[in-house]
Amino acid sequence: GQNIDQPTEMTATEGAIVQINCTYQTSGFNGLFWYQQHAGEAPTFLSYNVLDGLEEKGRFSSFLSRSKGYSYLLLKELQMKDSASYLCAVKRTGANNLFFGTGTRLTVIP
């Protein structure tokens, strides 16, 4: 089977740093993805990790530890527009689809 766990909701202050965790269990692993989804809108791609380590892209970074089945998304210098849901998804070896977690709703407050 497969399972992804993310916190349901988080709140952080504008200008701060927030870390959104994702743990997964899957039979065969071939990549972990993070998507951002604003309320009522389509998801948009943020990052992709297939090897262990940190991938940095501007204010957003994503980390993966395959041995621990663990990833996090780090958002720096938070802005009000970062209020959104953040979806963690995994690709299984041999599968041609993504399995999504239920998402973490982040609220940025002034």
Partner 1 sequence: EAQVTQNPRYLITVTGKKLTVTCSQNMNHEYMSWYRQDPGLGLRQIYYSMNVEVTDKGDVPEGYKVSRKEKRNFPLILESPSPNQTSLYFCASSPGTVVSYEQYFGPGTRLTVT
Residues that bind partner 1 (CB under 8 A): 31, 33, 40-45, 48, 87, 89, 91, 96-103
6 or 72, CB closer to partner 1? 6
**How many Å separate Cα 95 from the centre of its chain?**
20
Shortest Å, Cβ 78 to partner 1: 23
Shortest Å, Cβ 4 to partner 1: 8
78 or 87, CB closer to partner 1? 87
Beta bridge partners of 74: 19, 61
Relative to beta strand 9-13, strand 104-109 is parallel
84 or 89, CB closer to partner 1? 89
* Cα R_g (the chain), whole angstroms: 13
Q: Answer yes or no: are the C-beta atoms of 110 and 60 closer than 8 Å.
A: no
Q: Answer yes or no: are the C-beta atoms of 82 and 37 closer than 8 Å.
A: no
Shortest Å, Cβ 21 to partner 1: 16
43 or 69, CB closer to partner 1? 43
